[in-house]
Chain A
Amino acid sequence: MNDDLLEQFITEGRELLAEAVEDLLALERAPDDKERINRLFRSIHTVKGSSGLFDLPPITRLLHAGEDMFQAVRERGLKLTPDMVDASLAAVDLVTRWIDELERTEILPADAGALATGLAARLRTYFDNPATAAPAGIARAGVAPSGVAPSGAAPAGVAAASANAPVPSETPQLDRWFSAATLAQLARSGEKFHLIVYQPSESCFFKGEDPLHLALQTPNLAALAWAWRNPCAPLSELDPYQCNLDFFLLSSATPEALAANFRYAAQDVTFLPLPPGSFSAAAPVALPDITRDLLQFCTDMLAHDAPPAEQPGRFAAARRVAANALRAAGLTEAAVQLAEADSPDTCRQSIAVLLATGAAARPAIGSAAESAATGIDTPAEPAAEALHEAPNVRKVLRVDKEKFDVLMNLIGELVVAKNSLPFLAKRADEQYGARALAREIKDEYGVIDRIAQELQGAVMAVSMMPVGQVFGRFPRLVRDLARKLGKQVDLVITGEDTEADKNVIETLFDPLLHMVRNSLDHGIEPPDERVACGKRPSATLTLAARQDGDQAVIEIIDDGRGIDPAMIKRKAYERGLIDETRLATISDQDAAMLIFAAGFSTAETISDVSGRGVGMDVVRAAVEKAGGAITLSSVKHQGTTLRLSLPLSMAVTRVMTVLVEGRLFGIPMDLVLETVKLPAHSITRIKNAKAFLLRDQIIPLRHLNRLLHLPDPQQTPAEIAVLVVRTGGQLLGLGISAFGEVMEVILKPMDGVLARIAGYSGTCLLGDGKVLLVLDLKELIA
């Protein structure tokens, strides 16, 4: 089996199936969304079609059933029920799993056949008698399940416009490349052909490739055509070593044999299975402009209101003009069909189909190629200019993470170097008395500062990605969970464009998942209970993201039963998480936060959704690890809001500098609660520990110089500066000499020999060239 081909199938299959899930969920809410159902149908159809290239009958069979079902929904007004959505999601999941399996082992699991048959049968129970009702296009695909028509190319609207109209051509315009005589001969052979579009890369000669040789080696080659990819240069400018040829081949060999022949050029080759009858059906799509205009005129004529007496005359005239126009264009078959139209409406419909398929004709090969999932990205149109470059492709640059880190570091150094200018200005003024020079330095500093900040912002933006990437996975999860729990939930997502650091976003999914699960399981009531409380039966769960200063804030809001502080307190006490004194004194707000304590579970019974007592503490740990914080507010019977705030970027850390015995240290700002100055006499001793009273709260006090093994001050100051910090959920006062300023730094972890020293989380450079050690308080205090 061809690896590249399979790889493409796997990648594209995954994407299309993910889209299908999205569409299914949207359709469940808005079953009349024509665009969605069309897209859904196309996704499934395309994956099914591509699966035919490989020996994967279970996938083809299962998706075929799904396709038939959506066809029935699309064209026969079958109503999409939640059960049908369930079954479809199950089918899509199964195929997704098989694709994963294919990627690992290249074969399907042994039970795939049986599973596919079972699920396909279940899907088929939702629509009656597909064999007779399915329109011609599908019936035809059904005849050849392994080599499937690339009808993803045909505009879905056309097929929907009239099921009785002539089947729109689903084949590429073979007559563009091959002579009528050749095609007629092939049609007579009655064999099944593949069209092979081979577009060798421009530089292929330098890789020792000989596309012509390879093309001529094609097994069962029946016809060969070529086209200039870009207009042929005049002889004087011709570069013979740039390959400018595309080849179009027809062969009756099996897909496997073809794939084997082109195994070294798989990325340049597209295989399109041609359904039987393609050769004769290929003609009607090539509409010359004049014919198109005439046909348009005829439909306009039929569309206008006319006195009843004139109508038959108009109809006859329009029909004759249209038929003649078609005949003149060499489209005899279509002309005959049109001439037989027995009412103005059928006539108009036939013309509409012709116009639409005519429009589809030009890009037919391109989109058909996409649906076959095997390589080229632009329509292959001979003599068209520079079509090889797809103009609308969004260009993405993939950069090695290490290179990006170097860039980050350099920006960091630039920021630091820039910060030395104010020091210089100060020195110019104070040391050399050159005030004018100092002012000029400051002006220059302003300019450099602005540029450096913009540069920093730009580089940060590179590593940012929208929160929507994580949110996108929730509609499906919420739907499935809600159905499983028998609850009705409307998921509202806002602010998905909010951007945050990629690393932060990636750590976000699991915590969010836990919280959403908890909301659904514990927060949101079953519909009858909601109605009894006077609420709408369907609950609203909101995932909202927004930027708040240098933090990304994500809220999970439900309008469920809320958290009952009394119940939380009781449970926490029962589980030994709090003692009796704390039970009596704890505030409602703090009690609600107890759900984040390890080993806490409020659910009366353990469901398979949540309630095992692991989760919320893990959530808190994960969020804190990403440098974020989590808060909770809840009103009984009205709902719960969980608020996650995360740093926008992990690259910049805000630290507060503190002076301890003449040395400067940094303390991460997110730990600092407040700064106070205490008179020495307000410090009380409890045995050999010190503590102080702050707003009726006893806070233990440690001296940072002791923790750092620095000498004690020579004389005890009358007033000491205390930094109140929160570490490990406890408040602590840190005695220092003096407060410094708050600054943004780029923290570099300690490495090499220094990495083993405990108590420091990293270093950064200050504007005056000094190194600032940033403390890791948790380690220091432990």
Chain B
Amino acid sequence: MIERDGKTILLLGHCPVEDADTLLSFVHDGADVIDWTGCTLLHTACLQVLLAARLPVAGPPQNPALAQFLAPYFVPYTATEI
């Protein structure tokens, strides 16, 4: 599920293929940070949008595999910037 909280996009729980559109529109509308701490499953379509968006990502995600193998590819978000 994808939600938006001001300039933050939240990835929550399972983000299936349909969420890619929402994610893309949120990114398109302007966002500062993507927060995937609540993310358990991320579909490849959503991953594509994340990779293309090049936004800082706040983590680590709940899914350890995502944290281990994908987190290194994102710019980590540091809390002090808020």
Query: In chain B, residues 18-65, which have Cβ atoms closer than 8 Å to a Cβ of chain A?
Result: 20-21, 23-24, 27-28, 41-49, 51-53, 65
Total A-B contacts with CB atoms under 8 angstroms apart: 59
Known A-B contacts A232-B52, A235-B28; A211 and B69 likewise in contact (beta carbons under 8 Å): no
The residues of B that contact A607 with a CB separation of less than 8 Å are: none
Could you mark each residue 160-188 of chain A with 1 if its beta carbon is under 8 Å from any beta carbon of chain B, else 0? Answer: 00000000000000000000000000000
Report the interface size for chain A: residues with CB under 8 A from the other chain: 22
A240 within 8 A of B: yes
C-alpha spacing A269/B44, complex, angstroms: 16
A157 to B: closest C-beta gap in Å: 39
A232 contacts B47, CB within 8 Å?
A: no
- Asked whether any CB of chain B lies closer than 8 Å to the CB of A493, the reply is no
Which of B21, B27, B28, B42 is within 8 Å of A212, CB to CB? B42
Q: Which of A210, A224, A233, A235 makes the CB contact (< 8 A) with B44?
A: A210
Residues of A within 8 A of B44 (CB): 200, 205, 210-213, 243, 245
Give every chain A residue within 8 A of B69 (Cβ-Cβ).
Answer: 216, 221, 223-224
A212 and B47 contacting across the interface, CB-CB below 8 Å: yes
Question: In this assembly, does B66 line the interface, its C-beta being within 8 Å of a C-beta of chain A?
Answer: yes
Contact flag A238-B17 (CB < 8 Å), given A212-B43, A245-B44: no
Bound together, the chains give a CA A211 to CA B17 distance in angstroms of: 11
Interface residues on B, range: 20 to 34
> B28 to A241, Cβ gap below 8 A?
no
Contacts of A231-287 to chain B: CB distance below 8 A = 232-233, 235-236, 238, 240-241, 243-245
What separation, in Å, do the CA atoms of A130 and B59 have in the docked complex? 56
Are B48 and A245 in contact (CB-based, < 8 A)? yes
A226 touches B53 (CB 8 A): no
Nearest residue (CB) in B for A234 is B52
Q: Which of B48, B65, B70 contacts A240 (CB 8 A)?
A: B48
Quick check: A243 and B24 within 8 Å, CB to CB? no
Bound CA span A224–B47, Å: 14
Q: Are A235 and B21 in contact (CB under 8 A)?
A: no
Least Cβ–Cβ distance between A49 and chain B, in angstroms: 28
Q: Which residue of B lies closest to A223 (CB)?
A: B69
A205 / chain B contacts, CB cutoff of 8 Å: 17, 43-45
Q: A235-B27, A235-B28 are in contact. Are A216 and B48 (CB under 8 A)?
A: no
Task: Name the CB-closest residue of A to B44.
Answer: A212
Q: Give the residue name and chain of the A residue nearest to B47 (CB).
A: A212
Bound Cα distance from A200 to B43, whole angstroms: 13
Q: What is the 8 Å Cβ interface bit string for chain A, positions 208-233, against chain B (1 contact, 0 not)?
A: 00111100100001011010100011
Q: Is the CB of B53 within 8 A of A216?
A: no
What are the residues of chain B within 8 A of A210 when measuring CB–CB? 17, 43-44
Q: Quick one: given A205-B17, A235-B53, are A240 and B73 in contact (CB under 8 Å)? A: no
Compute how far the CA of A235 lies from the CA of B66 in the bound complex, rounded to whole angstroms. Answer: 23
B53's nearest neighbour on chain A, judged by CB, is A235
Q: Is B73 a contact partner of A213 (Cβ separation < 8 A)?
A: no
A212 to B52 Cα, complex, angstroms: 15
Shortest Cβ gap from B61 to chain A (Å): 12
A700 and B21 CA atoms in complex are apart in Å by 88
Nearest CB in chain B: distance from A700 CB, A:
82
**Contact indicator B66/A226 (Cβ below 8 Å):** no
- In the bound complex, how far is the Cα of B48 from the Cα of A241, in angstroms? 9
Which residues from chain B contact A216 at a C-beta distance below 8 Å? 65-66, 69
Chain A residues positioned under 8 Å from B53 (CB to CB): 235
The reply to whether B41 and A240 contact each other, CB–CB distance below 8 Å, is no
Tell me which residues from 130 to 175 in chain A have a Cβ below 8 Å from any Cβ of chain B.
none
Contacts of B45 in A (CB 8 A): 205, 240-241, 243
Instruction: Report Cα–Cα, A211/B49, bound state, in Å.
Output: 14
B residues near A241, Cβ cutoff 8 Å:
17, 20, 45
> Considering the chains assembled together, what is the distance between the CA atoms of A550 and B43 in angstroms?
62
Chain B positions within 8 Å of A238 at CB level? 24, 48-49, 52
Cβ A245 vs Cβ B20 within 8 A: no
Residues of B with C-beta under 8 A to A244: 48
Interface-centre pick from B17, B44, B49 (highest chain A CB count, 10 A): B44
Of chain B, the residue at the smallest CB distance from A240 is B20
Chain A residues with CB under 8 A of B43: 205, 210, 212-213
A245 with B47, Cβ < 8 A, contacts A235-B24, A235-B27 known: yes
Which residues from chain B contact A245 at a C-beta distance below 8 Å? Answer: 44, 47-48, 51
Chain B contacts for A226, CB-based, 8 A: 51, 73
**CB nearest neighbor in B for A212:** B44
Q: Which residues of B contact A243 (CB under 8 A)?
A: 44-45, 48
Give the Cβ gap from B50 to chain A, nearest Cβ, in Å.
10
Which of A200, A210, A236 has the most C-beta atoms of chain B within 10 angstroms of its own C-beta?
A: A210
Cα-based distance from A224 to B45 in the complex (angstroms): 17
Instruction: Report how far A235 CA is from B41 CA in the complex, Å.
Output: 23
* Complex: chain B residue closest to A221, CB-CB: B69
A232–B49 CB distance below 8 A: no
A228 contact set on B, CB distance < 8 A: 51
Q: Report chain A residues within 8 Å CB of B66.
A: 216
**Contacts of B21 on A, CB cut-off 8 Å?**
240
CB contacts (< 8 Å) of B24 on chain A: these are 235, 238, 240
Listed A/B pairs (9) with beta-carbon separation below 8 Å: A205-B43, A210-B17, A210-B44, A233-B52, A235-B24, A240-B45, A240-B46, A240-B48, A244-B48
A-B contacts besides A232-B52, A241-B20, 11 pairs, CB < 8 Å: A211-B44, A213-B43, A221-B65, A223-B69, A226-B51, A228-B51, A235-B24, A238-B48, A238-B49, A238-B52, A241-B45
Residues of chain B at the chain A interface (Cβ within 8 Å): 17, 20-21, 23-24, 27-28, 41-49, 51-53, 65-66, 69-70, 73
A-B complex: 10 closest residue pairs judged by Cβ atoms: A240-B20, A224-B69, A212-B44, A216-B65, A211-B44, A240-B45, A240-B49, A232-B52, A240-B24, A210-B43
